[in-house]
Amino acid sequence: MTALRPALGLLVAALALWLAWALFAAPAPAPAQARTFNSSRQCQECHSAPYAEWEVSWHAQSWNDPEVRKLSGDFANTDCIDCHAPRPVLETGLGQRVLPRVARRVEGVDCLTCHLLPDGRIAGTIENPSAPCRPTERRELVQPEFCAPCHDQHGTVQQWKATPFAQQGPGFRNCVDCHMPFRDADPARGRDHTMHGGHDPALLRAAAELRAHRAEGALVVEVENVGAGHNYPTDERSRASDLFWRPLAEPGSGPLPWRHLYRFRNPYRYEVGLENTELPFGQTVTIRVDDPQSAGPVEVALFYKLSPYWSDPQRPDPEREATLVHRIEVAP
């Protein structure tokens, strides 16, 4: 009897502890319906692949982007907040201008901007009311009208509509076909959220073709938009692309300075007196170089500029201030 007493005491203590734990420490799991989302970070635990891609994308950086900060006076110009820290697109509605968000601006164009529906569910490709985020199928996610509230400000969607890519049929390719390809080209693996644009040299190389030949003694250079499903380059305010040439250096001597030949750009408001020279899809621009020095061996190069102006417009230095897209050598 005396031997049993401590064992009984232990049992009672254990039961009491269990009861306390059951009552206070372990609430029943919340039903899936109760899950509400107010930050992209909440998506990370279950959707690590799109999260990791988005995190390094310019969408995720649209609030911290130093170029935007500089031009907006750290968002003292509050008009700039609308698209750089927006509320959910499907809440304001397609065809409407997006509205600025008050909270978590640092997350930029975030998961909620593109996926959150007004009823708290998540727009996706499947119907699954029992999943924690309750995805529902919304086809408009992959339509150009979905990108338009933010991306048509400088005409990208209108430019796309004028290309053969916009014709329904075998050649049809919309924004996500080029900018959100399937991971490993496998539709079952979903779409890459890195959203490559002008910062990606590989995408830029796919956009344009650079050719040169001699005709009646003159150097003739051609650039064709073969891969951008809109104008090249497409953004009017921040982007430009420049063509340069120079005689090839003699062996043993350093390279000569690049000579500017042509600029592809839609001039912004205060660049008066300039024409829009963006190159529409499928079109070629042809430029003759009438300079005696171009008769010898030369090199020709196409550069892309993420910020349009040269620090010294008289002596532009593309190798320092721009991205090389294509370079060719032409024999005499």
Residue with smaller CB distance to ligand HEC, 242 or 294: 242
Residues 142-161 close enough to bind ligand HEC by CB under 6 A:
142, 144, 146-147, 149-151, 153-154, 156-157, 160
Q: Is the Cβ of residue 315 or residue 327 nearer to ligand HEC in the bound state?
A: 327
Measured in whole angstroms, how far is the alpha carbon of residue 55 from the centre of its chain? 12
Instruction: Enter the tokens of residue 48.
Output: 């690590």
Minimum CB separation of residue 161 from ligand HEC in Å reads 8
Q: Does 80 bind ligand HEC (CB under 6 A)?
A: yes
Q: Which DSSP helix (H) or strand (E) runs through 179?
A: helix 175-179
- Cis omega (within 30 of 0) for bond into 316: no
Minimum CB–partner distance for residue 35 and ligand HEC (Å): 7
DSSP string, 253-291: SPPPPPEEEEEE----TT-TT-----B-TT-EEEEEE--
3 state SS of 297 = coil
Taking CB under 6 A as the binding criterion, the range among 2-10, 12-20, 192-200, 243-251 that sits at the site for ligand HEC is 192-200
Q: With contacts defined by CB under 6 A, name the span among 83-91, 214-222, 254-262, 292-300 that binds ligand HEC.
A: 83-91
Q: Which of residues 262-301 bind ligand HEC (CB under 6 A)?
A: none
Choices 10-18, 80-88, 258-266, 268-276 (CB under 6 A): range interacting with ligand HEC: 80-88
> By CB under 6 A, is residue 302 in contact with ligand HEC?
no
Alpha-carbon dihedral of residues 75, 194, 327, 209, nearest 10 degrees?
-100
Candidate list 90, 178, 221, 330; residue touching ligand HEC; CB under 6 A? 178
Q: Which residue from 162, 203, 324, 328 is in contact with ligand HEC, where contact means CB under 6 A?
A: 203
Cα–Cα dist 326/304, whole Å: 10
DSSP state of 22: I
